[in-house]
């Protein structure tokens, strides 16, 4: 059998209906790929073998043979997935405790994909074919079930999932291949409650009832290889959690600190970045902190190195983040502004070459073009416009100096701003009406591939006679 890394999903802001997609429940558990023959191997995203933690899932060998499956291990409490319960089971080491937990809190493996059958890889087959093969090659059992996706009606399915107090749903493109290790737009997770997998970099001292444990966990995420502080969490812990987590923290203590933010207490302790905590939160603040965070359990199946800051940043802004060091530049990090409108801005940018940046709000970001010779003001004028990376909405209010050595170094000032009316937005042509202080009228952008992949022609439309 081949070894596979799990395919991962991106995040969608809201549910949608589409006949080219199928939708299924998003289960809150431990992701695992099962290699099933005479013996069963269950491996997490971190490539840890966990079949010994969930011995009841050896049932798989009676239900299928010669297959590689992808699915989620869940423990149900009152009919709902209980992440803390499955996380607790995944931490068990004592064989006697494992057997006891398997009897008292049995796990269910919910299978949603098949990657290989009888030595033949299926990952290049479209999803709808893989689901047909899965139904024919896997029987259901006491602890193993197949996911039951529905086609097209994502909005209604999402609403039904929330009525059942489930976390959300998954949307998957019907004709998509399985893309090992990729975070693909062909799979989308749609959740009501925002969650983030954070690295524990330290903790604060406990006081009062927590004097013998800790007060809060200090959380961070990685921007590349650099850890970024995103806040602290002090709620969601049971008494047993406090005891167990305290001992784990103490075993990981180090002397050097990770962060120097003013709101971190001076007496805080620092630890090796080994623990990954699942954190629920309401939103991300302007300074990139998690608002109203709550501890939901540890992710034993996920390495700390995979806990990227992109979890709490709009994914369309990955290129924007990759080009900037926010410890040096004062440009906005973005990700907190959830407004939806039709704003636009033109910024004069005195970088290595003076140019003007045209930015149009679209789908939660500012789609951007650099216009070397400025915005055309006369009817019929045409200017080259080079499409650049999308920018966060907050960039529409940015003015300042980008430091020397940083991407786009130089002075930025707002030259014009206002709103625009989209008339037509296609892959190769955009028509819009600008209503600003300096720039007003109907404009169009036409893709100009002959001059380069990202090149467009910006023109002010000639008035109709």
**Does position 341 have pLDDT exceeding 80, yes or no?**
no
Confirm whether pTM is higher than 0.75. no
Higher pLDDT pick, 160 / 77: 160
Catalytic-labelled residue, pool 26, 53, 191, 460:
26
**Quick one: how far is CA 351 from the chain centroid?**
32
Read off the DSSP letter of residue 393: G
Identify the band that residue 286 occupies on the pLDDT scale cut at 50, 70 and 90: low
Place of tokens 């400025």: 374
Q: What is the pLDDT of residues 57-79, one digit of tens each?
A: 999 999 999 999 999 999 998 78
The top-scoring range by mean pLDDT among 110-124, 186-200, 203-217, 330-344 is 110-124
Span 221-235, mean pLDDT? Answer: 92
Tell me the pLDDT band of 83, cut-offs 50, 70 and 90.
confident
Residue 26 a catalytic site member: yes
In angstroms, rounded to a whole number, what is the distance separating the alpha carbons of residues 283 and 24?
25
Across all residues in the chain, what is the average pLDDT? 91
Split at pLDDT 50, 70, 90, the class of 337 is very low
Residues 277-287 have a mean pLDDT of 81
Lowest mean pLDDT among 165-174, 244-253, 314-323: 314-323
Q: How confident is the model at residue 431 (pLDDT cuts 50, 70, 90)?
A: very high
The residues facing 195 across adjacent strands are 280
SS3 string of the chain? CCCCCCCEEEECCCCCEEEEEEEEECCCCEEEEEEECCCEEEECCCCCECCCCCHHHHHHHHHCCCEEEEEEEEEEECCEECHHHHHHHHHCCCHHHHHHHHHHCCEEEEEEEEEEECCEECCCCCHHHHHHHHHHHCCCCCCEEECCCEEEEHHHHHHHHHHCCCCEEEEEECCCCCCCCCEEEEEEEEECCEEEEEEEEEEEECCHHHCCCEEEEEEEEEECCEEEEEEEECCCCCHHHHHHHHHHHHHCEECCCCCCCCCCCCCCEEECCCCEEEEEECEECCCCCEECCEEEEECCCCCHHHCEHHHHCCHHHHHHHHCCCCCCCCCCCCCCCCCCCCEEEEEEEECCCEEEEEEEEECCEEEEEEECCCCCCCCCCEEEEEECCCECHHHHHCCEEECCCCCCCEEEEEEEEEEEEEEEECCCEEEEEEEECCCEEEEEEEECHHHCCCEEEEEECCCCC
Summarize pLDDT for 298-319 with one digit per residue, the tens.
998 889 998 988 788 766 787 8
The pLDDT value given to residue 129 = 98
The 10 Å Cβ neighbour count of residue 37 is 15
96-127 pLDDT per residue, tens: 999 999 999 999 999 999 999 999 999 999 99
Mean pLDDT is highest, among 107-121, 191-205, 395-409, for 107-121
**Distance between CA atoms of 377 and 458, rounded to whole angstroms?**
11
Query: Does 1 score more than 50 pLDDT?
Result: yes
Residues 8-34 have a mean pLDDT of 93
Q: What is the mean pLDDT of residues 170-191?
A: 94
Q: Pairing mode, if any, of strands 107-117 and 144-146?
A: parallel
Out of 63-72, 79-88, 207-216, the most confident range is 63-72
pLDDT of residue 167: 81
Domains and CATH numbers, the chain: 8-191 (3.30.470.30), 194-311 (2.40.50.140), 316-461 (no CATH)
Q: What is the pLDDT of residue 338?
A: 47
List, in order, residues 6 or more apart from 7 with CB less than 8 Å away.
70, 113, 178, 179, 180, 181, 182, 184, 187
User: What pLDDT shows up at residue 85?
Assistant: 87
Of the candidates 46, 92, 37, the one whose C-alpha atom is nearest the C-alpha of residue 65 is: 37
What are the helix (H) ranges across 231-308?
Answer: 239-251
d(CA 223, CA 328): 14
pLDDT of residue 451: 63
- Banded pLDDT at 464 (limits 50, 70, 90): very low
Q: What is the mean pLDDT of residues 123-138?
A: 97
Q: In the predicted model, what is the mean pLDDT of residues 277-288?
A: 81
Number of CB atoms found within 10 A of residue 282's CB = 12
Please check the confidence at residue 215 and state whether its pLDDT lies above 70: yes
pLDDT-based confidence at residue 84 (cuts at 50, 70, 90) = confident
Is the pLDDT confidence value at 28 over 90?
A: no
- Segment 242-255 shows an average pLDDT of 94
CA distance 12 to 171: 9
- Say how far apart CA 4 and CA 28 lie, in whole Å: 21
């Amino acid at each position: 059998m081949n070894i596979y890394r799990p395919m991962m999903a991106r995040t969608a802001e809201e549910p949608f209906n589409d006949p080219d997609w199928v939708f299924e429940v998003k289960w809150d558990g431990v992701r695992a790929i099962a290699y099933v023959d005479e013996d069963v191997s269950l491996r997490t995203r971190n490539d840890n073998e966990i079949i010994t933690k969930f011995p009841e899932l050896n049932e798989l060998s009676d239900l299928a043979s010669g297959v590689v499956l992808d699915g989620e291990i869940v423990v149900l409490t009152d009919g709902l997935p209980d992440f803390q319960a499955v996380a607790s089971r995944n931490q068990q080491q004592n064989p006697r405790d494992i057997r006891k937990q398997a009897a008292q809190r049995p796990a269910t493996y919910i299978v949603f994909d098949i990657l290989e059958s009888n030595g033949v890889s299926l990952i290049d087959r479209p999803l709808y074919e893989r689901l047909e093969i899965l139904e024919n090659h896997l029987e259901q059992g006491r602890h193993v079930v197949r996911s039951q996706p529905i086609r097209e009606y994502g909005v209604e399915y999402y609403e039904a999932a929330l009525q059942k107090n489930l976390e959300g749903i998954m949307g998957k493109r019907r004709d998509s291949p399985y893309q090992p290790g990729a975070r693909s737009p062909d799979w989308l997770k749609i959740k009501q409650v925002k969650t983030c997998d954070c690295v524990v970099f330290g903790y604060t001292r406990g006081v009062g009832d927590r004097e013998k444990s800790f007060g809060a966990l200090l959380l961070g995420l990685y921007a590349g290889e650099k850890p970024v502080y995103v806040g602290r969490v002090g709620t969601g812990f049971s008494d047993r959690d406090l005891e167990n987590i305290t001992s784990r923290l103490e075993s990981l203590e180090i002397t050097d600190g990770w962060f120097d933010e003013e709101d971190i207490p001076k007496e805080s302790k620092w630890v090796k970045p080994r623990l990954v905590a699942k954190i629920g939160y309401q939103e991300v603040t302007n300074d990139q902190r998690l608002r109203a965070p709550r501890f939901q359990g540890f992710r034993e199946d996920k390495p700390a190195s995979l806990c990227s800051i992109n979890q709490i940043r709009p994914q369309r802004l990955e290129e924007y983040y990759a080009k900037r060091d926010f410890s040096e530049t004062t440009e906005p990090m973005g990700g907190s502004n959830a407004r939806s409108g039709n704003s636009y801005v033109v910024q004069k940018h005195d970088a290595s070459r003076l140019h003007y940046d045209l930015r149009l709000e679209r789908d939660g970001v500012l789609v951007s073009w650099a216009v070397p010779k400025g915005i055309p003001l006369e009817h019929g004028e045409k200017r080259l416009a080079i499409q650049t990376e999308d920018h966060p909405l907050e960039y529409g209010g940015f003015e300042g100096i980008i430091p020397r050595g940083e991407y786009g170094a130089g002075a930025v000032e707002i030259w014009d701003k206002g709103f625009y009316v989209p008339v037509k937005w296609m892959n190769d042509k955009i028509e819009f009406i600008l209503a600003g202080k300096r720039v007003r009228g109907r404009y169009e952008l036409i893709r100009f591939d002959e001059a380069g992949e990202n090149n467009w022609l910006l023109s002010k439309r000639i008035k109709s006679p």
